[in-house]
Amino acid sequence: MSESTEKSRIKIEEAKDKVIGAIAETMDLYGVTPSAANLYATMYFKDQMTLDEMRTELEMSKPSMSTSVRKLQEIEMVKKTFTRGSRKHTYVAEKNFFRSFMVFYCQMWEREVKMNMEAIEEAQKDLIDVIKDSTSTPEIVADAKKYYDQLEGSKTYYRWLDDLVASIRSGKIFEFLPKDPQA
Amino acid sequence: MSESTEKSRIKIEEAKDKVIGAIAETMDLYGVTPSAANLYATMYFKDQMTLDEMRTELEMSKPSMSTSVRKLQEIEMVKKTFTRGSRKHTYVAEKNFFRSFMVFYCQMWEREVKMNMEAIEEAQKDLIDVIKDSTSTPEIVADAKKYYDQLEGSKTYYRWLDDLVASIRSGKIFEFLPKDPQA
DNA sequence: AAGTTTATTAAAAATATATTTAACGTTTAA
DNA sequence: TTAAACGTTAAATATATTTTTAATAAACTT
């Protein structure tokens, strides 16, 4: 191999590394550990990888790769693929960022809506009990009403968030915000 | 104070606590520590609080409250307020979830777009150098082109994310997804 | 200007999270 | 049926993060 060929290879690797670094650095936003982030970013430029290839590439232990892959599978940024004739499991990175965005945020926001809406419903029931209770003083009733109204108001947000999730899931959001504006 | 009055008070507290628990539990999504999450959720039902009130309410140290407040201020979920006649600093929780959503995610996504777009631009420059280099073998050129195209494709996503941020910031998104659908 | 109240920074301790080495179980091939 | 290959779990270690106690700095009062 000639020297300039070698230089070109290195330059390609450096180019990839710049992007790998940036992706990995912003992936804390997706709640993954730095090593899972590094793994995903590395896989982003590969067709598929086995656990052994990962540990070689990242110079880490196999169990570590195993747990990282599992975490990435959870948020669907990595999928298992079947590779004929190989006993090793092979994995591919989801390379469509729109899909990753959808899966991750919808999952997250749905959890937020569900958990908070349930708590609000329960809390409002309690507050209504207090309001209706004939033994409650006017002051207590006023207090209960205040909180009831605050919670009622916050529901507007959770309903909106739920709508946002629905419009991302259905793809309707891309009618409003096209993926490719000028096309 | 009568016994049933006391019961009502407790019931109100329990109602609040349910919501506080739910908010705090989902706030890991906003990248804050459990204690900062607890603090915000507690403040959500208060007009304003001083550091001393926080430490009393949460039974934690003052520096701990100080750092939590600072973190919450960073993502604009808490603001400092001026209270006439008090030497203590007072803080209020942002109670408009739409605002919190906007500030937090826009901040986050802008960082993601900026960092990755910059890396991509640099990487693409490098790859073009390799492609134009007359000493590069066809195989290397093909490789460089492959990665160049992959990066070019990913820009569609980052531009879209940038548009999303803009439409949230400007409020235009609420034309598409109204806050209050039936109203 | 001295003393007091308040918030922040620094250092130490405690806790939680990630990572590795070692052991285990399962599958496949000889 | 045994041995080898592979992935996962468990326990131990290492590393980061959070939290506290103690010390410092800043702002106000008298």
- Over residues B125-180, the pLDDT tens digits come to 999 999 999 898 999 999 999 999 999 999 999 999 999 999 999 999 999 999 99
Q: How far apart are CA B47 and CA A143, in angstroms?
A: 13
Specify which residue's alpha carbon is closest to the C1' of nucleotide D6: A88
Whole-number pLDDT of residue A84:
87
- Please tell me the distance in Å from A81's CA to the nearest CA on chain B: 21
Domain boundary among B35, B68, B95: B95
Q: Residue B92 CA to D14 C1' — how many Å?
A: 40
Same domain, B21 and B85: yes
Burial call B43-56: b when 16+ CB within 10 Å, e when fewer:
bbbeebbbbebbbe
Radius of gyration of chain B (CA): 25
Q: Where does the pLDDT of residue A1 fall: very low under 50, low under 70, confident under 90, or very high at 90 and above?
A: low
Q: What pLDDT digit, counting tens, does each position of A40-91 carry?
A: 999 999 999 999 999 999 999 999 999 999 999 999 999 999 888 889 999 9
- Determine the nucleotide nearest to B63 by Cα–C1' distance: C8
Same domain, B80 and B127: no
Contact residues, chain A, for B159 at CB < 8 Å: 181
Asked whether residue B100 is domain-assigned, the answer is no
Same domain, B79 and B111: no
| Beta strand spans in A12-137 (E) | 49-50, 78-81, 90-93
- pTM value is 0.93
ipTM of the shown complex: 0.92
Number of structural domains (chain A) is 2
Identity of the residue in A45, A147, A156 whose CB atom sits nearest the CB atom of B179 = A156
CB contact under 8 A, B177 and A161: no
Same domain, B133 and B172: yes
Same domain, A61 and A124: no
Q: Which of residues 40-59 of B touch strand C (CB under 7 A)?
A: 50-52
Contact residues, chain A, for B40 at CB < 8 Å: none
Domain boundary among A95, A123, A147: A95
Residue B86, judged by CB atoms within 10 A of its CB (0-12, 13-18, 19+), counts as exposed
Same domain, B70 and B19: yes
Q: What angle do CA B83, B78, B25 make, to 5 degrees?
A: 135
Same domain, B113 and B90: no
Same domain, A89 and A11: yes
Domain range for B139 is 105-176
Whole-number pLDDT of residue B35:
94
Domain boundary among B65, B95, B125: B95
Q: How far apart are CA A14 and CA A20, in angstroms?
A: 10
* Token pair belonging to A126: 């309690």
DSSP output for A144-173: HHHHHHHHHHHHHHHHHHHHHHHHHHHSTH
Same domain, B118 and B47: no
